[in-house]
Amino acid sequence: MSVADRRRTERLEADAAGVARAAEIIRAGGTVAMPTETVYGLGANALDPIAVANIFAAKERPNFDPLIVHVADRADLSRLLTADALADPRLALLAEALWPGPLTIVAAASDLVPPIVRAGLSTVGVRIPDHPIALAIIRAAATPIAAPSANRFGRLSPTRAEHVIADLDGRIDAIVDAGPTQVGVESTVIALQPGRPATLLRPGGIALEQLRTLLAPFGGIDVVAAGELGAAPLPAPGMTASHYAPRAAIRIAQGQHSFAGLARCALLGSDRTELSKLEAGAREAGVRVVTALPLSESLDPIAAAAALFEVLHRLDAALEGSDQASAIVASPYPDAGLGLAIADRLRRAAAATNGGVA
């Protein structure tokens, strides 16, 4: 994040005025660190992709991990999940027994949830936090709030406002100080897929034993990488093969070989200027361009991050049904600020397909 991005971080009290101001900032697309019962979260309007991109910018995440969307009432889920996901009896059971509380449920997302929130996955993690201030802010903002832990990448999750300030002062719009959090570890994350046992993705504030008991009549719960539980944290989905990668091969453009062996391509420019260069390269190589899209008009990592997964999906769809002689060709993204996360995501997508780096 450049010096120009520094902002004054408002300190807000955990009272009615603080809640109202926090909600106002969220509605305006800003970022607010807020208490939950587990750890402090860095919140933004979950339905506003630019606001969500600002969360990643403040945290300096080198990659986009999916975020948990926080709601105040179960009724709010009806807009966020698919009808199938909403009909899963385990959702009602767990919500009844454990919400508000430190349990995150990952289930099929509706189209309303922007791809950057889900890091391009088809699922979204949701929870109702058990903290009066968090609930009041969500209700006053009248929108679901996406919030990862309010720490910079690689640092510990914050359990006090002072931890948040040490990491994020000058990078976020406000922090609501409600004293130390109660639970101190993050929520337990489980995935629900119709017709399959629930899966534990991350141990946390709700004990596995309790989930086993509750889910016993519904096929129980599978534990991924059981050997690692309690030792190392589970790998974040951003690091695993199940993470979103386009079906089409993707290449990072690199000089004259970028289009070698291709008959057709879809182009991804870091901005309009870079897109024009790619188009010229494709023309020179005699490769047909099916679609060409920039991540933003002029270079703007925040807007580009907000658009990345959407644009990848569109390019992927444009190449659907094409044979091996087709690929998405992307200009390399400059590494500064959120650019590092974008470049990393493109490199991973390239490595996950057989296109690799041209």
Residue that is written with structure tokens 């000058």 in the block: 170
190 beta partners: 105, 200
Question: What string marks each residue from 90 to 129 as x (binds ligand TXA by CB under 6 A) or -?
Answer: ------------x-x-x-----------x--x-xxx---x
Q: Which residue, 187 or 331, is less far from ligand TXA as judged by CB?
A: 187
The reply on whether position 67 binds ligand TXA by CB under 6 A is yes
The reply on whether position 133 binds ligand TXA by CB under 6 A is no
Q: What six digits make up the tokens of 118? A: 């889900």
Q: Which does 76 bind (CB under 5 to 8 A by kind): Mg ion, ligand TXA, none?
A: none
Contact 91, 107 (CB under 8 A): yes
In whole angstroms, the minimum distance from the beta carbon of 214 to Mg ion comes to: 25
Torsion of CA 132, 137, 140, 142, to 10 degrees: -110
What DSSP letter does each residue of 288-335 carry, written as one string?
Answer: EEEEEEESSSS--HHHHHHHHHHHHHHHHHHTTT--TTEEEEEPPPP-
Q: Can you state the angle between helices 339-352 and 301-318, rounded to 10 degrees?
A: 20
160 burial type by CB count under 10 A (0-12 exposed, 13-18 middle, 19+ buried): middle
The reply on whether position 271 binds ligand TXA by CB under 6 A is no
In whole angstroms, the minimum distance from the beta carbon of 236 to Mg ion comes to: 9
Q: Which residue, 203 or 339, is less far from ligand TXA as judged by CB?
A: 203
SS3 41: strand
Q: Which residue, 102 or 337, is less far from ligand TXA as judged by CB?
A: 102
Residues 127-166 that bind Mg ion (CB under 5 A): 149
Q: Which residue, 149 or 188, is less far from Mg ion as judged by CB?
A: 149
Which positions touch ligand TXA (CB under 6 A)? 36, 38-39, 41, 65-68, 102, 104, 106, 118, 121, 123-125, 129, 147-149, 186-187, 189, 201-202, 236-237
